């Protein structure tokens, strides 16, 4: 995934979320999931969003009989990494530390989230130079 112009928009992200939960899927299946009472205009919207996501390299299309079947080509984890790197680049001169510090300090963490962060820091401290 390249620069932020290739990042999915909010509408495209809703399509990716659907595909991350249920993949592969047809346009009809995605439309029915996102717009249970939707009509032709919703179908056309989903089709357009899928075309844009395919152009950005975030989904792949395969022909299955008379219908197209879509799968994500980017995972949620990959997208998170790219978004955080883009944000760090634009706000923190490329450094992730200030971004992550503000992110963690700016919210009240659940106990299991705090424990997971502590375990990550301990692991990073015990394995210098390695990434998680």
The pLDDT tens digits for 72-115 are: 999 999 999 988 899 999 999 999 889 888 888 878 889 999 89
Residues 34-70 have pLDDT tens digits of 999 988 999 999 999 999 999 999 999 999 889 999 9
User: Do residues 68 and 100 both lie within one domain?
Assistant: no
What residues make up the domain containing 42?
4-72
- How many structural domains is the chain composed of? 2
User: Do residues 16 and 60 both lie within one domain?
Assistant: yes
End-to-end CA distance of the chain: 20
The answer to the question of residue 16 being in a domain is: yes
User: Do residues 61 and 115 both lie within one domain?
Assistant: no
User: Do residues 68 and 17 both lie within one domain?
Assistant: yes
Give the pTM.
0.76
> Does the CA dihedral 66-20-17-98 come out positive or negative?
negative
């Amino acid at each position: 995934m390249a620069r932020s112009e290739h990042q999915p928009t909010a509408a495209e992200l809703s399509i990716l979320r659907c595909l991350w939960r249920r993949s592969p899927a047809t346009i009809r299946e995605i439309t029915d999931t996102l717009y249970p009472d939707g009509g032709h205009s919703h179908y056309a919207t989903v089709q357009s969003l899928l075309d844009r996501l395919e152009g950005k390299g975030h989904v792949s299309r395969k022909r299955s009989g008379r219908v197209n079947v879509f799968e994500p080509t980017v995972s949620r984890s990959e997208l998170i990494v790219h978004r955080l790197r883009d944000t760090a680049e634009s706000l923190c001169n490329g450094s992730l530390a200030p971004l992550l510090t503000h992110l963690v300090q700016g919210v009240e963490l659940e106990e299991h989230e705090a424990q997971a962060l502590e375990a990550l820091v301990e692991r990073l401290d015990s394995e210098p130079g390695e990434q998680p």
